[in-house]
Chains A and B, each alone.
Chain A
Amino acid sequence: MDSHDFGKAILELEDITMQFGGITALQGVTYQVPPDVIQAVIGPNGAGKTTLFHCISGLLQPTSGCVRMNGHRINGLPPHRITALGIARTFQHVALFKSMTVLENVMLARHPRTHSGFLATGFRLPGMRSEEKQIRESAACFLDFVGLEDDAHLEAGTLPLGKQKILEIARALATEPRLVLLDEPAGGLNMRETEELGELIRRIREKGTTVMLVEHDMNLIMEISDRILVLHYGRHLATGTPVEIKDHPAVIEAYLGEG
C-alpha cells in the first residue's frame, strides 16, 4: 500500500473501525507511521481525523482493530498510560487548564515523568523538593522551546488563541513523547503565526519526536509533511508524499465533491 520504505513503524494501525451508534466514523483503517517523520492526516470535515487521534491516544476505544506502538498493543490501555508510554496530543478545541498559569500548564504535563504523591508532597519529603524544582526548570525549558517564556506567569485562559494553540503543543511536548499528535494546530492562527508553527513542527521532528498532524491548511501541509494519509468518510482514501497527493485524482474529487 505504501511505496516508501521508512523502516520499522513507530505506530501501526490495523483495521481500525469506530462506530458511534449508527455512525461509522472510521472504517477499517490500516496504516503504519514510520519514526522521525511529519505524518499529515487530511480529509474533509467529518472524515474521522479527530476520531483517529482519540483512538490512538486512548480517549476512545476503537470498536474493532488494533493500535500498536513499537510493536506493543496499546488500545485498551487508559489514556494516561499511553501518554506515559510516549504518545502525547493536543486538542482541536483548545483544552488548556485555563485558570492555571502558562507555566503551571506545562508543569502539569511533567506528571508522567515524575513521582511524588500525597504523602511525599504533604510532608515535603526531601526528594519531593528537588523534584518540584526540576519540574519547574524543565517546564520553563519547554516554554523556551516554543517561545512562550515571556508569558509564563499569565493565566492560560487569558492568552490569545494563537498562543493557546502553541501552549497546547508545549504541554504535549513536556510529557516527552516519542510521537506527538497535533489536531489542527494552525486553526485560528494568522499567516505569520502559521509560518512559525511550521518552523516549530520541524524543530520537534529534529528533536527526534515523530509528528502526526491533522490540518486543513494545505499550504502548511504541503510544505512540511513527509507523508500524507487522506481519510474520506472514515476510510483510507490515499497515501503518499505531498507531491503525489496534490495530483491524486481521488483526493481532488473528494475535496471538490465536498464544496
Chain B
Amino acid sequence: MNRKDWLLFLGVGLFIGVFPLVVLQFKAVSHYVDVMIFAGIFSLVCLGLSMLMGFAGQISMAQAAFFGIGAYASGILTSRFGLNPWAAMPVGVALSASVAWLIGIPTLRLKGHYLAMATLGFGVIVHIILGEEVEWTGGPSGLVDIPGLSLFGRPVTNDVHWYYLVWGIVFLALVFCLHVIHSRVGRALRAIHEEETAAEAMGVPTARFKLQVFVLSAVFAAVAGSLYTHYVTCLNPGSFNLMWSIRFLLMVMVGGMRSLWGAIMGTVLLTFVGNEWLQVFADFEVLIYGAILLVVAMFFPGGLVSLVPRWPGPRKDPIPAASDGGS
C-alpha cells in the first residue's frame, strides 16, 4: 500500500468507524446503519469484481449467482441440516469457487469476452434453479428459518455489531486486495488487461491468472452471500437475478473501474440510491442507473474515486510503489 492508500485508509476508516455513532443520534436516519450493512456486504462482492473487471479486464455477469450460491448454501445447510453458520460459509465458498473454476477453464483460455457470455448464461440458470428447486430452496416463496450469526458464543443481534462485523471483514478483504494489486500478481493482472499477448510473451501464464482472479471474485461473492443470509435470515431468488449482477457491475463502474476504493464508494452510493433514496422511483430503477452511468462516463470517467482531492505535500518517493490507478 502506498501513501495515498494509507491516507484513504485513515479517512475512510474514520468515516466508517463513526458513521453509526453519528446517525444513531438522529431518529430519521438511524436505519442508515442497516443500509450500510447491506452496502458492506455488497462491497465484498464488488471488491472481487473490481479485481476481476477493473484490473484483469474480464467481465462477469454472474456475480449475483455466486452471491446466491454462497447465500443458499449457507441458508440450506443451517436451516435444514442444523450446521453452524461458520461451518456452512466455507462450504458455500468452496462450491462457488469450484463452479467458477469449471466455467473459467474453457472460457478464460481464449482471448475476448467469452467469460461475459458464459456467465450471462450461468447467472440465468442459477436464478431459475433457485426458483424451481422448491424442495431445497423454498422456491419463489423463499427460504425461511435461517439462524443468525453467533460470534464468540454470543448471537449477533444488534445492528451496530453487525455493522462493525461486516465492515471489519470488508477492510480485511480490501487490505488483501490492495496488497495483491501492488505486487507481482497485480502487475500481471493489469498487464493482461492492457496487452494480453505481450503479457503472455513476457512469461505471464495469462489463462491461469484470469482463472485465479475469477475464482477469487466468486469466493468474495460467496462470503458476502453467506453474511447476507444470516443477516436477513430469509432468502428469495429475486435477490440473485441478472439485475443484481448488473447492479454489481454498475457499482464498480460508478466508483471507478481501476480502483478498489472506488468499488467501495460506488457500492455505498448505489446501495443508498437503490435501497433508500429512490425507493419511490423503483419502477424507473434501470433508467436511473442508466442515467448515473451515463453521467459518470461523460463527466468523471475515472469514477467517483477521481473526485477524491489530491493530497498536498511530497507525493513522490524515489521509487514509488504501483499506484492503485485511482487517482
Q: Assuming the A-B contacts A108-B204, A118-B185, are A97 and B325 also in contact, with contact meaning beta carbons closer than 8 angstroms in the complex? A: no
Judged by a CB distance under 8 angstroms, whether B210 is at the interface is no
Query: Is chain B's interface secondary structure helix, strand, loop, or mixed overall?
Result: helix
Nearest A residue to B181, CB-CB: A121
Nearest A residue to B202, CB-CB: A109
Give a binary string over B164-184; 1 marks a CB under 8 Å from any A CB, 0 the rest: 000000000000110110011
Query: Cβ of A128 and Cβ of B183 under 8 Å apart?
Result: yes
Judged by a CB distance under 8 angstroms, whether A84 is at the interface is yes
| Segment at the B interface, from A8-16, A88-96, A230-238, A251-259 | A88-96
Given contacts A96-B198, A122-B177, 20 further A-B contacts (CB under 8 A): A59-B197, A59-B201, A80-B200, A80-B206, A88-B202, A91-B201, A97-B191, A97-B194, A97-B199, A99-B190, A100-B190, A108-B187, A108-B204, A111-B202, A112-B203, A114-B184, A118-B216, A121-B185, A124-B179, A175-B203
Q: Assuming the A-B contacts A104-B187, A117-B185, are A80 and B197 also in contact, with contact meaning beta carbons closer than 8 angstroms in the complex? A: no
Query: Cβ of A121 and Cβ of B202 under 8 Å apart?
Result: no
Query: Cβ of A108 and Cβ of B191 under 8 Å apart?
Result: yes
Mark B residues whose CB is within 8 Å of A.
176-177, 179-180, 183-188, 190-191, 194-195, 197-207, 212-213, 216, 316, 319-320, 322, 325
Contacts of B187 in A (CB 8 A): 100, 104, 107-108, 111
Judged by a CB distance under 8 angstroms, whether A43 is at the interface is no
Query: Cβ of A111 and Cβ of B203 under 8 Å apart?
Result: yes
Give a binary string over A55-96; 1 marks a CB under 8 Å from any B CB, 0 the rest: 001010000000000000000001110011000110100011
Q: Assuming the A-B contacts A80-B204, A111-B204, A122-B179, are A100 and B184 also in contact, with contact meaning beta carbons closer than 8 angstroms in the complex? A: no
Judged by a CB distance under 8 angstroms, whether A153 is at the interface is yes
Judged by a CB distance under 8 angstroms, whether A248 is at the interface is no
20 A/B residue pairs, CB under 8 Å, sorted by A: A78-B207, A80-B204, A80-B205, A83-B203, A84-B203, A95-B197, A95-B201, A96-B198, A100-B194, A100-B322, A108-B188, A109-B203, A111-B203, A118-B213, A122-B176, A123-B179, A128-B184, A132-B184, A136-B319, A153-B316
Nearest A residue to B188, CB-CB: A111
For the complex of A and B, 4 pairs with smallest distance between CB atoms: A112-B203, A121-B183, A83-B203, A95-B198
Query: Cβ of A140 and Cβ of B203 under 8 Å apart?
Result: no
Contacts of B200 in A (CB 8 A): 59, 78-80
Most buried by A among B199, B203, B316, B325: B203
Nearest B residue to A99, CB-CB: B194
Query: Cβ of A97 and Cβ of B179 under 8 Å apart?
Result: no
Query: Cβ of A116 and Cβ of B194 under 8 Å apart?
Result: no
Query: Cβ of B184 and Cβ of A89 under 8 Å apart?
Result: no
Judged by a CB distance under 8 angstroms, whether A165 is at the interface is no
Judged by a CB distance under 8 angstroms, whether A152 is at the interface is yes
Nearest B residue to A85, CB-CB: B203
Nearest Cβ in chain B — how far from A156, in angstroms? 9
CA A89 to CA B183, docked complex, whole Å: 24
Judged by a CB distance under 8 angstroms, whether A201 is at the interface is no
Query: Cβ of A121 and Cβ of B180 under 8 Å apart?
Result: yes
CA A123 to CA B185, docked complex, whole Å: 12
Judged by a CB distance under 8 angstroms, whether A227 is at the interface is no
CA A157 to CA B108, docked complex, whole Å: 27
CA A107 to CA B182, docked complex, whole Å: 12
Query: Cβ of B190 and Cβ of A132 under 8 Å apart?
Result: no
Judged by a CB distance under 8 angstroms, whether A135 is at the interface is yes
Contacts of A113 in B (CB 8 A): 203
Judged by a CB distance under 8 angstroms, whether A103 is at the interface is yes
Judged by a CB distance under 8 angstroms, whether A49 is at the interface is no
CA A84 to CA B204, docked complex, whole Å: 9
Nearest Cβ in chain A — how far from B217, in angstroms? 12
Contacts of B205 in A (CB 8 A): 78, 80
CA A83 to CA B216, docked complex, whole Å: 27
Nearest B residue to A175, CB-CB: B203
CA A117 to CA B176, docked complex, whole Å: 12
